[in-house]
Chains A and B, each alone.
With several copies, the nearest count.
Chain A
């Protein structure tokens, strides 16, 4: 239905944005859950430090985050040059866009999941352990299902953020059509030239529609989970 609406390059941007947002969300979710759990439940020496690092992308202007990513993960960067040797390239690649989006969305994801973990009644986890479940099994069978609403919330925040992320992405991986040009970068480009507003708005609408669809789906999922716990 949008066929007439968008040119092939724009379609490419839509597809790429979806891919970037999905991959960023899915790939960072396990790490997000782990970090949230560590922050919520463990007391360890680097606790505050880790917490601070997680929040950094929120505090820093996106261009700064993008710049730091560029000098770290760029092919000349400390990490980037090492990763390149083992075949992983983030720089100027869609994977880099996903990395940038994931990092920008990480504080939001972690906070949502952490809040859910903190709300779990640890007496239930204790009950699980008395029934023979190891810490890991307790996590998998009790904690995880109970924090699903938080995970869904964290994931949708991350997805929405990834769909809208622009500053860090364009600074890190540039704006190469078909490779790193996401919807927000395309929108930005249109806004840079006279007469581009209409085109930009079309893309904005597409981006909003996608993100809202994901949002509504997540609401349904979350409500379903909540209803199950409240007793079907």
Chain B
């Protein structure tokens, strides 16, 4: 494999950190299929976007929310023609313990009563996508007022999950993708899709990039191999390869 890499091309993707598992698998498949090397830099979307603003050597950017992609697009830093919504995700309420009782998330429910003395773990509600979506969902359901004083915000959604997993809080709001594979948490309910803006992971080519492989990779991400990998991690795949 190694000698192949030397002669083959290389594509650099700046991707939201939450995509790591899926992207690692896709990278392997992609390399096997094309012989091209896929380099992925995982970090928070805000950090990656700022780096692209500062001329980072990225070919493709996949953001965990639309806002940062919009910002870059506004600055002409990503190519709007190549932009598409790659993935979708769902917001779920997780509870501590293997077999938590299901919770019906609906307008008018007694969320505060559900939490009792406990707190609700979320990602930063004004800064981190999962937190922003969560807050807007709760607001739309008219629950935010009663919940707000009990929210414990982490700097990313994984540590919100960790709080639930450790039993420090009874409930947390995380992505569906996060709830996978943690034995100490179970999904108690899923937020209605219309309670918040759609959760999308837009992807686009970075304007500065002159890498000839970007088009091919953007296509590949919409292909079956990628779809499988994304779905395995609980993502909803929004984009399919355009015909032709």
Contacts and interface: CB of A to CB of B under 8 A. Distances in A.
B67 A175 contact: no
Contacts of B40: 177
A63 interface: yes
B54 A192 contact: no
A192 B55 CA distance: 19
Given A63-B159, A70-B166, A175-B43, A193 B54 contact: no
Interface stretch (B107-115, B178-186, B215-223): B178-186
B177 interface: yes
Interface residues of A, number: 34
B237 interface: no
Given A192-B18, A192-B127, A175 B152 contact: yes
Interface string B157-173: 01110110011100000
Interface stretch (B118-126, B138-146, B195-203): B118-126
A110 interface: no
Given A91-B54, A174-B121, A174-B154, A188 B168 contact: no
Given A70-B51, A71-B166, A178 B152 contact: no
A174 B14 contact: yes
Interface string A59-103: 000010011001100111100000000000001100000000000
User: Which among A77, A174, A195 has the greatest number of chain B C-beta atoms within 10 A?
Assistant: A174
A194 B152 CA distance: 20
Contact of B54 (A63, A74, A180, A181): A74
B48 A174 contact: yes
A41 to B, nearest CB: 39
Contacts of A185: 43, 124, 155
User: Which among A63, A75, A189, A194 has the greatest number of chain B C-beta atoms within 10 A?
Assistant: A194
B20 A174 contact: no
B180 A170 contact: no
A70 B162 contact: yes
B106 interface: no
A196 interface: yes
Size category, B interface: 35 or more
User: Which among A77, A91, A92, A193 has the greatest number of chain B C-beta atoms within 10 A?
Assistant: A193
User: Which among B119, B124, B128, B168 has the greatest number of chain A C-beta atoms within 10 A?
Assistant: B168
Contacts of A75: 54-55, 167-168
Contacts, number: 161
Contacts of A167: 155
A82 B95 CA distance: 24
Contact of B17 (A70, A71, A188): A188
Contact of B21 (A171, A176, A178, A196): A196
Contacts of A176: 12, 39, 41, 57, 119, 151-153
Given A75-B54, A177-B40, A171 B178 contact: no
Interface in A178-232: 178-181, 185, 188-196
Interface in B77-122: 119, 121
Nearest to B161: A194
Given A70-B163, A176-B151, A170 B43 contact: yes
B9 interface: no
B47 interface: yes
A175 B41 contact: yes
A188 B174 CA distance: 18
A127 B94 CA distance: 66
A66 B159 CA distance: 10
A75 B152 CA distance: 15
A74 B57 CA distance: 11
B3 to A, nearest CB: 15
B156 interface: yes
A180 B166 CA distance: 19
Given A74-B168, A170-B47, A174-B14, 20 more contacts: A70-B54, A70-B162, A70-B166, A74-B167, A76-B167, A91-B54, A91-B168, A92-B168, A170-B159, A171-B162, A173-B152, A174-B159, A175-B41, A185-B155, A191-B46, A192-B18, A192-B20, A193-B17, A193-B18, A193-B233
Closest 6 pairs between A and B when the two form their complex, measured CB to CB: A74-B54, A192-B127, A192-B17, A174-B152, A75-B55, A194-B71
